[in-house]
Chain A
């Protein structure tokens, strides 16, 4: 069922830990950076981080396993 463990670690484990771990630890801290509460700033940083992780999973581990419908047409 799981076709590639590196894909799961990069595309699932890293962003999940970043999002949940960040909220759990930084949510209790009253600090403001660049005009934002630090917990918000962390979640904002997770947007590009998540896309980067998913892109690496897709580009290097998953893409070749999913048939390209244009080529198979």
Chain B
């Protein structure tokens, strides 16, 4: 029954992906990567929540509370919520920057603002180093879901199925597939979490076979000392990185600043699934102490409380959440490689090459999942610290004048090196402060000092533009070709 429901949902999702791309197969690279910059507010909403609430929310969040207590759950919830507050003000500016430079990736924006191929390359490589393990993490999550259901698939079969489905989503319609399939995934996710949460309520408050109330210890309910320092610094740091480091994937396809801003207003309400997830985590702590792999704890709880058909729904929601993020991350990587890493590809060939690079990443991710999971999970722990290194550059693009391109590249490289060094040194030397705060702070300091000692040429910050642009048609070039510097590598790549 579980397998039948899972297969049915996955088949429907592929059908929706095909529908999403109907009549748009020849839409070019803009259609492929950013949906022709045409998504209305409701589609931006679903794409954003589809990307944010990944398999990590269903598997990683409960397992984090299970293993580390309240501090893990509070920073996880706190940073996403605070990110929406920041995003309401910053996300429209990110869209404006992309519109101004006719950009489809973050390195497009930063590279074109500084008219520098070096800045573009450094930004691209920084993002790739962070995104490859993030995409591969989704593979591992999918493996956990399938194995905890007792599905008789070998690891090879599981990752091959995941890779093929993710490729299908992307190949048929680019970014539109994750957006449309998100509607199914989010419906299932809400049903999934509500079903487990309600079952826990019944089990702990008198209507199920078990009637023992949850016993919550001080270790599970309080945050103190260095854990509080870590929680507060992580909430602020990751909230800031959320839109300026990772948000481009769901901001750039929007059709206007208005669509971006208005969709952000309602995003915190999706977080109402978290009380049920916390409840499930606290229940699992008492019901299933000492589980060897905490990542399986949500699925173990679901199997213990729900009938088979409902477990099938839970598995479908979890699997789709992993597949969607895998597909969107693969698409982002494909775009980074085809547009920013290799500069010689002609515009008409970029969509075809992006699809090739998506396939290459999925094969690489599958192989790494099978043979180097531990190594990649280690790299994943650096994910936010690495991606955060583009934030000072983005802040400069939005708000600052006369910052030299060399300062941006140098700051980013110093930040990446420091992130790795601090990670290897361990958190003990920082008194609980999130190491990303230190590395990103030093990156920013390099830029500020360089700017003070040797100011660069005047560049108008994106946020200083007084008129708010409207995108009614798809992508007219925002910067006339003659306005670009003579040596700008993007002159021939529009």
Q: Do A and B come from one complex?
A: yes
CB-based contact B235/A16 at 8 Å: no
Q: How far is the CB of B352 from chain A (nearest CB, A)?
A: 31
Which of B73-81, B111-119, B139-147, B339-347 sits within the interface?
A: B73-81
CB-CB contacts of B271-310 with A at 8 A, as 1s and 0s?
1101100110000000000000000000000000000000
Is B486 interfacial (CB-CB < 8 Å)?
A: no
Cα distance A23–B77 when bound, in Å? 11
Q: How far is the CB of A16 from chain B (nearest CB, A)?
A: 6
CB-CB contacts of B163-195 with A at 8 A, as 1s and 0s?
000000000000000000000000000000000
Is B236 interfacial (CB-CB < 8 Å)?
A: yes
Q: Enumerate chain A interface residues (CB-CB to B < 8 A).
A: 1, 8, 11-12, 15-16, 19-20, 23-24, 27-32, 35-40, 43-44, 46-48, 50-51, 54-55, 57-58, 62-63, 65-69, 72-73
Contacts of A48 in B (CB 8 A): 268-269
Please give me the 8 A-B residue pairs with the lowest Cβ-Cβ distance, nearest first: A37-B221, A27-B223, A66-B258, A50-B268, A30-B218, A54-B265, A51-B268, A67-B470
Closest A residue to B93 by CB, please name it: A1
CB-based contact B268/A39 at 8 Å: no
CB-based contact B472/A54 at 8 Å: no
CB-based contact B235/A40 at 8 Å: no
User: Among residues 29 to 44 in chain B, which have CB atoms less than 8 Å away from a CB atom of chain A?
Assistant: none
Closest A residue to B77 by CB, please name it: A43
Closest B residue to A35 by CB, please name it: B214
Q: How far is the CB of A54 from chain B (nearest CB, A)?
A: 4
Which of B3-11, B84-92, B150-158, B442-450 sits within the interface?
A: B84-92
CB-based contact B231/A69 at 8 Å: no
Q: Which size class do B's interface residues fall under?
A: 35 or more
Contact among A12, A65, A67 for B85, CB-based, below 8 A: A12
Q: How far is the CB of A44 from chain B (nearest CB, A)?
A: 5
Q: How many A-B residue pairs have CB under 8 A?
A: 143
CB-based contact B74/A39 at 8 Å: yes
Closest A residue to B205 by CB, please name it: A35
Contacts of B232 in A (CB 8 A): 20, 23-24
Chain A interface SS verdict (over half): helix
Cα distance A37–B222 when bound, in Å? 8
CB-based contact A39/B85 at 8 Å: no
User: Among residues 228 to 269 in chain B, which have CB atoms less than 8 Å away from a CB atom of chain A?
Assistant: 228, 231-232, 235-236, 255-259, 261-262, 264-269
Is B425 interfacial (CB-CB < 8 Å)?
A: no
Contacts of A54 in B (CB 8 A): 84-85, 88, 264-265, 268
CB-based contact B222/A36 at 8 Å: no
Is B104 interfacial (CB-CB < 8 Å)?
A: no
Q: How far is the CB of B180 from chain A (nearest CB, A)?
A: 21
Q: How far is the CB of B78 from chain A (nearest CB, A)?
A: 6
Is B131 interfacial (CB-CB < 8 Å)?
A: no
Contacts of B213 in A (CB 8 A): 35
Is B224 interfacial (CB-CB < 8 Å)?
A: yes
Q: How far is the CB of B163 from chain A (nearest CB, A)?
A: 35
CB-based contact A16/B274 at 8 Å: no
Cα distance A23–B73 when bound, in Å? 11
Is B463 interfacial (CB-CB < 8 Å)?
A: yes
CB-based contact A66/B223 at 8 Å: no
Q: A29-B222, A38-B221, A69-B255 are in contact. Are A43 and B74 (CB under 8 A)?
A: yes
CB-based contact B70/A47 at 8 Å: no
Cα distance A65–B218 when bound, in Å? 48
Cα distance A20–B471 when bound, in Å? 36
Is B417 interfacial (CB-CB < 8 Å)?
A: no
Contact among A24, A40, A55 for B278, CB-based, below 8 A: A40
CB-based contact B279/A24 at 8 Å: no
CB-based contact B81/A46 at 8 Å: yes
Is B12 interfacial (CB-CB < 8 Å)?
A: no
Cα distance A32–B62 when bound, in Å? 19
Cα distance A51–B236 when bound, in Å? 19
Contact among B223, B236, B259 for A39, CB-based, below 8 A: B223
Q: How far is the CB of A3 from chain B (nearest CB, A)?
A: 9
Is B364 interfacial (CB-CB < 8 Å)?
A: no
CB-based contact B221/A11 at 8 Å: no
Contacts of A12 in B (CB 8 A): 85-86, 88-89
Contacts of B258 in A (CB 8 A): 63, 66-69
CB-based contact B224/A43 at 8 Å: no
Closest A residue to B73 by CB, please name it: A40
Is B377 interfacial (CB-CB < 8 Å)?
A: no
CB-based contact A32/B216 at 8 Å: yes
Besides the known contacts A27-B71, A39-B70, 7 further A-B residue pairs in the complex with CB atoms under 8 A apart: A12-B85, A19-B82, A27-B74, A30-B218, A43-B274, A47-B268, A69-B256
